[in-house]
Amino acid sequence: MDNQTANSIVGFMMVPLGLLGLLLAARAVDVEMEIFGFGLVVFAFLFGFSTIKRVYDHRDAARAAARKEAGHG
C-alpha cells in the first residue's frame, strides 16, 4: 500500500472521530466530558490538516528531486 492510500484511509477514519467528539460535547452533562469531546474535535481537525501538509510536502520533494535529476542529466 502506498503512502497516499494510507494517508487517505487514516484521514477518513478521523472524520467519525471528530463527529464522535462533537456528539460527546453536545450531550455532555459535566465539564470534563465536554472538554474531552472538544479535544477530540480539535485533534481530528489538526490531524487532517497535518495529513494534507504531509501529502503536499511529499509531492513537492518528489518534484524537486525530479528537477534536480533532470538538470544534472
Residue pLDDT, tens place only, 17-30: 999 999 999 999 99
pLDDT of 45 strictly over 90? yes
pLDDT of 73 strictly over 60? no
24 contacts: CB under 8 Å, gap ≥ 6: 33, 34, 36, 37, 40
In DSSP notation, 44-68 reads HHHHHHHHHHHHHHHHHHHHHHHHH
Whole-model pTM? 0.79
- Supply the pLDDT for residue 29: 95
- Supply the pLDDT for residue 6: 84
- Supply the pLDDT for residue 72: 63
- Supply the pLDDT for residue 35: 96
